[in-house]
């Protein structure tokens, strides 16, 4: 893999759990994608000339270690496969001092028109360079609690109603969620999921996350990006439980455009509760299991 990014964790990137929030893992890895594209022959000037952009359409993430304020990190990347006009990329964030991997990303990326967002063919020169950057997927980057099965058909609001999925977050797309074109960035999708967690906890368990001694963390995510919302669009998030294990459970989240009723993204996440002092995961108590069980949605998926 080649080095495509360097940085350090800022205090404003960390949440109430004391570690880097999931949206900023996605943001920092997203910021490194143009450097990987440059290595593939899709530099910024060429993309501007084509009015094109390399964007994620399907993304799998494993969060392996916490990143705390001030920690330096490096991002490395390579190509797992080139399938027609889509690239299957691999990126990972490593602690600069220890080399320990903090997060891994498998991203299916497509070249799209900058304004209308329809797919464009990959230049043959890019495909040739992709072969030169080919890497095998390391064991720590492989899915563990989730699968990379083909995504389900794009859902709509009515289906979420039929399944009884909870409404957990709703707001118009703000300028802070958008790029210079006024198009919503991928970071903002997982940010909305993170923002919804206190309402999910309140609605499923009747608990106040702000005063609990235990926290929560995501171990793994998969995100399917169906469309690109624009500034001012009204988006709403619906959620349900996919499965419950001894320590971990899987949430499904569908993000909808409220005007059209169509999903703009579907996600699922493996989550745990953990002790804020020891930073260790906790077994799910029977009361919590029963509370979560009321919101099980059979067959829920991305």
Give the pLDDT score at 53.
93
From CA 25, how far away is CA 272, in angstroms rounded? 18
From CA 108, how far away is CA 117, in angstroms rounded? 16
CATH architecture of 149-302: Roll (3.10)
The SS3 call for residue 302 is: coil
Phi first, then psi: give them for residue 177, nearest 5 degrees.
-100, 5
- 153's tokens: 């058909």
**Are the CB atoms for 281 and 247 separated by under 8 Å?**
yes
From CA 167, how far away is CA 78, in angstroms rounded? 38
Of 183, 219, 173, 293, the C-alpha closest to 60 is: 219
**Are the CB atoms for 96 and 72 separated by under 8 Å?**
yes
CATH architecture of 1-142: Roll (3.10)
* pLDDT tens, N- to C-terminus, the chain (302 residues): 999 999 999 999 998 888 899 999 999 999 999 999 999 999 999 999 989 999 999 999 999 999 999 999 999 999 999 988 999 999 999 999 999 999 999 999 999 998 888 899 999 999 999 998 898 999 999 999 999 999 999 999 999 999 999 999 999 999 999 999 999 999 999 999 999 988 988 888 776 656 566 677 889 999 999 999 999 999 999 999 999 998 899 999 999 999 999 999 999 999 988 877 787 888 888 888 888 888 999 889 99
- Per the DSSP assignment, residues forming a β-bridge with 217 are 272
> Angle of helix 22-39 relative to helix 187-205, nearest 10 degrees?
160
CATH 3.10.129.10 domain extents, the chain: 1-142, 149-302
Looking at residue 238, what DSSP letter applies?
E
**Are the CB atoms for 109 and 55 separated by under 8 Å?**
yes
Give the pLDDT score at 5.
97
What lies within 8 Å, CB to CB, of 115 at 6+ separation is 51, 181
Straight-line distance from the first to the last Cα atom of the chain, in angstroms, rounded to the nearest whole number: 29
Give the pLDDT score at 111.
95
From CA 273, how far away is CA 162, in angstroms rounded? 29
The SS3 call for residue 123 is: coil
pTM above 0.85, yes or no: yes
């Amino acid at each position: 893999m080649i080095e495509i990014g360097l940085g350090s964790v800022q205090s404003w990137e960390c949440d109430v759990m004391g570690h880097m929030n999931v949206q900023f893992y996605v943001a920092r890895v997203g910021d490194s994608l143009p450097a990987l594209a440059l290595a593939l022959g899709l530099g910024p000037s060429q993309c501007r000339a084509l009015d094109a952009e390399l964007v994620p359409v399907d993304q799998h993430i494993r969060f392996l270690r916490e990143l705390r304020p001030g920690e330096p990190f490096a991002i490395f990347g390579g190509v797992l496969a080139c399938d027609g006009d889509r690239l299957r990329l691999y990126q990972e964030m490593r602690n600069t001092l220890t080399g320990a991997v903090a997060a891994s990303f498998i991203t299916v990326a497509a070249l799209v028109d900058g304004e209308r967002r329809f797919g464009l063919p990959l230049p043959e020169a890019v495909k040739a360079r992709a072969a030169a950057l080919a890497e095998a997927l390391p064991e720590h980057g492989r899915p563990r609690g989730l699968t990379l099965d083909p995504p389900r058909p794009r859902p709509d609001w009515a289906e979420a109603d039929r399944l009884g999925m909870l409404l957990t977050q709703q707001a118009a797309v703000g300028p802070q969620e958008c790029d210079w074109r006024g198009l919503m960035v991928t970071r903002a999708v997982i940010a909305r999921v993170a923002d919804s967690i206190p309402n999910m906890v309140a609605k499923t368990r009747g608990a106040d996350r702000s005063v609990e001694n235990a926290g929560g963390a995501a171990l793994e995510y998969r995100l399917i990006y169906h469309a690109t919302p624009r500034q001012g669009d009204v988006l709403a998030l619906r959620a349900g439980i996919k499965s419950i294990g001894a320590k971990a459970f899987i949430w499904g989240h569908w993000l909808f455009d409220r005007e059209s009723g169509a999903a703009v993204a579907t996600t699922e996440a493996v989550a745990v509760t953990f002790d804020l002092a020891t930073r260790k995961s906790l077994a799910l108590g029977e009361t919590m299991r029963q509370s979560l069980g009321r919101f099980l949605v059979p067959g829920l998926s991305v």
